[in-house]
């Protein structure tokens, strides 16, 4: 990619003056001038590729500039003081944040890895853009991993699939998460990857006609309703199919990998109007409807999900969403980073949207054991959520396997601390009872009751564990 190409892509979504970006390009190119990558290419090719990924996610100029220079402090002779004077505090902080992560030098599967990962999350908590730059850096390194020795490929792929891909998922950047998973899968299990890739391509070619027929039929009915919309088809990433095969213990041929369609419109009210049209024309599959618009996922994802039967007898999954929701589903956190785009404060609700992430990071700071941290990190990344109702009809999203203790702490710390049991669907249940989506849960409390140590092994969420630890510490029942 050349500079004029990068600027052209940046100007597609931003009116910012690009003087800083142009200077960052020249500065990085000069700083890395005599360095080469394992592929034999000039090192700057990697810097430009990271910037291109960030522009693809429509990041602000400071982030793209930091992406161009993300290795300058680590790999060149330029000092921190000189860099700060050249580019100012904001870009310096972004590059220094990425450099901190680089310096951690993960090992692959031991206790130290958990501790390093924890340090990274906490070090970057001040500015989530640092994590987005690091993800772009890792994605391009995965794309060029074939130039490294096999041992290094395995180490980097394992780290990517177990830590970086889940983090991209937590930030809602599904496009990036899927590509990272598939690239890791390719290096970790090359034979399975090649075999599955060939079978998936063949299946997709066979089903393309079927999908096209369904689209034509769908368009015919939707066009009559005067609701603006566009229809996209989607293919599942290979790694998610592979995981399904392992989970269900079935070969590829027996996996019911439903065909997927996305319908994108201009407003929430039109999402429901289109859903009505779809259900009036095609028979819905019982129990397949989920409303993530009324109750969004933890990472801001919103859509209506339904499955219907096509004339051919195949099941088609349909997701209906607005353009804004579609951007969020593709770019996640990055889609909301607008406060620097031309007008100041273009997304006034950014803080509110990022609040769940900040709160989560605060909870994680409270965990003393690295192993517990990594377990909690993975639990909270689970986006297969259950939805539990309070007696007043409010809905609380929780990870699969959550218990009444987790639920109690989502309502209020005092309710959690004095919980002695729960009524689930009007029947008494133990505090370690695994809740299911749709359960109505009422927490039973006793005024002088208090959290017990064994609750730490019952609670599934970082939030609940943090509150329990805090109470036990304050009352001398837990040593740091």
Instruction: Please count the helices (runs of H) and the strands (runs of E) in the chain.
Output: 21, 11
**Of 165, 188, 211, the domain-final residue:** 188
Q: Identify the band that residue 217 occupies on the pLDDT scale cut at 50, 70 and 90.
A: confident
Rounded to two decimals, what is the model's pTM? 0.70
Q: Identify the band that residue 54 occupies on the pLDDT scale cut at 50, 70 and 90.
A: very high
Mean pLDDT of 30-45: 93
Same domain membership, residue 302 and residue 364: no
Number of domains, the chain: 3
Residue at 236 is within a domain: yes
Residue 126: is its pLDDT beyond 80?
Answer: no
Residue at 443 is within a domain: yes
Residue 342: is its pLDDT beyond 70?
Answer: no
Residue at 344 is within a domain: no
Residue at 340 is within a domain: no
Residue at 479 is within a domain: no
CATH code of the domain containing 296 = 3.30.460.10
Mean pLDDT of 47-73: 94
Structure tokens at 190: 């090359």
Number of CB atoms found within 10 A of residue 170's CB = 22
Residue 109: is its pLDDT beyond 80?
Answer: no
Same domain membership, residue 409 and residue 456: yes
Residue 40: is its pLDDT beyond 60?
Answer: yes
Same domain membership, residue 256 and residue 326: yes
- Buried b / exposed e over 295-331, threshold 16 CB at 10 Å, is ebebbbbbbbbbbbebeeebebbbbbbbeebbbbbbb
Residue at 341 is within a domain: no
- Compute, in degrees rounded to 10, the torsion defined by CA atoms 242, 330, 45, 48: -170
Residue at 217 is within a domain: yes
**Of 307, 333, 359, the domain-final residue:** 333
Same domain membership, residue 366 and residue 311: no
- Compute, in degrees rounded to 10, the torsion defined by CA atoms 238, 240, 245, 247: 160
Residue 329 vs residue 22, higher pLDDT: 22
CATH code of the domain containing 8 = 1.10.3210.10
Quote the CA–CA distance of 203 and 472 in Å, as a whole number: 55
User: Annotated active-site positions, please?
Assistant: 74-75
SS3 307: strand
Taking only the tens place, the pLDDT of each residue in 257-284 is: 657 889 999 999 999 999 999 999 899 9
Q: Which helix (DSSP H) or strand (DSSP E) does residue 234 occupy?
A: strand 229-234
Residue at 345 is within a domain: no
Quote the CA–CA distance of 464 and 165 in Å, as a whole number: 25
Mean pLDDT of 285-303: 86
Q: Identify the band that residue 33 occupies on the pLDDT scale cut at 50, 70 and 90.
A: very high
**Of 333, 365, 397, the domain-final residue:** 333
Mean pLDDT of 15-23: 93
SS3 385: strand
The domain in which residue 376 lies consists of 351-474
- Which residues on neighbouring strands pair with residue 352, listed in sequence order? none
Residue 356: is its pLDDT beyond 60?
Answer: no
DSSP assignment letter at 440: B
Residue 66: is its pLDDT beyond 70?
Answer: yes
How would you classify residue 342: left for phi > 0, otherwise alpha for psi between -120 and 50, otherwise beta? left
Residue 122: is its pLDDT beyond 60?
Answer: no
């Amino acid at each position: 990619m050349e500079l004029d190409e990068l600027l052209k892509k940046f100007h597609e979504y931003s009116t910012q003056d690009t003087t800083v970006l142009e200077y960052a390009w020249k500065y990085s190119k000069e700083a890395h001038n005599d360095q080469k990558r394992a592929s034999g290419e000039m090192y700057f090719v990697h810097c430009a590729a990271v910037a291109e990924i960030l522009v693809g996610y429509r990041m602000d100029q400071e982030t793209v500039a930091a992406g161009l220079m993300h290795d300058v402090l680590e790999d060149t002779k330029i000092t921190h003081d000189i860099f700060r004077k050249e580019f100012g505090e904001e870009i310096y902080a972004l590059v220094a944040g990425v450099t901190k992560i680089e310096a951690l030098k993960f090992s692959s599967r031991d206790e130290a890895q958990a501790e390093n990962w924890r340090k990274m999350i906490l070090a970057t908590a001040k500015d989530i853009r640092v994590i987005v730059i690091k993800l772009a850096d890792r994605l391009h390194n995965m794309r060029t991993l074939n130039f490294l020795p096999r041992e290094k490929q395995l180490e980097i792929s394992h780290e990517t699939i177990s830590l970086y891909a889940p983090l991209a998922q937590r930030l809602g950047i599904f496009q990036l998460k899927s590509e990272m998973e598939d690239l890791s899968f390719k290096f970790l299990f090359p034979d399975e990857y090649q075999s599955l890739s060939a079978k998936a391509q063949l299946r997709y070619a066979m089903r393309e006609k079927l999908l096209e027929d369904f689209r034509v039929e769908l368009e015919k009915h939707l066009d009559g309703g005067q609701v603006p919309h566009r229809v996209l088809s989607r293919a599942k990433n290979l790694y998610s199919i592979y995981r399904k095969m392992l989970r269900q213990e079935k070969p590829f041929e027996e996996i019911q990998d439903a065909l997927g369609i996305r319908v994108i419109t201009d407003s929430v009210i039109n999402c429901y109007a289109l859903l009505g049209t779809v259900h009036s024309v095609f028979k819905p599959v019982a129990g397949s409807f989920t409303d993530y618009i009324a109750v969004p996922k933890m990472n801001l994802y919103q859509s209506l999900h339904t499955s219907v039967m096509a004339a051919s007898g195949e099941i088609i999954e349909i997701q209906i969403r607005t353009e804004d929701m579609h951007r969020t589903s593709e770019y996640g956190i990055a889609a909301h980073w607008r406060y620097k785009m031309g007008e100041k404060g273009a997304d006034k609700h950014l803080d509110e949207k990022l609040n769940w992430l900040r709160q989560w990071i605060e909870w994680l700071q409270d965990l003393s054991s690295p192993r517990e941290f990594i377990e909690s990190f993975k639990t909270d990344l689970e986006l297969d959520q259950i939805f539990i109702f309070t007696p007043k009809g409010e809905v609380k999203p929780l990870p699969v396997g959550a218990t009444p203790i987790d639920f109690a702490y989502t309502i209020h710390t005092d309710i959690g601390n004095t919980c002695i049991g729960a009524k689930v669907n009007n029947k008494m249940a133990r505090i370690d009872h695994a809740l299911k989506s749709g359960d109505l849960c009422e927490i039973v409390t006793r005024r002088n009751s208090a959290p017990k140590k064994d609750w730490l092994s019952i609670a599934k969420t970082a939030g609940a564990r943090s509150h329990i630890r805090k109470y036990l510490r304050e009352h001398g029942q837990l040593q740091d």
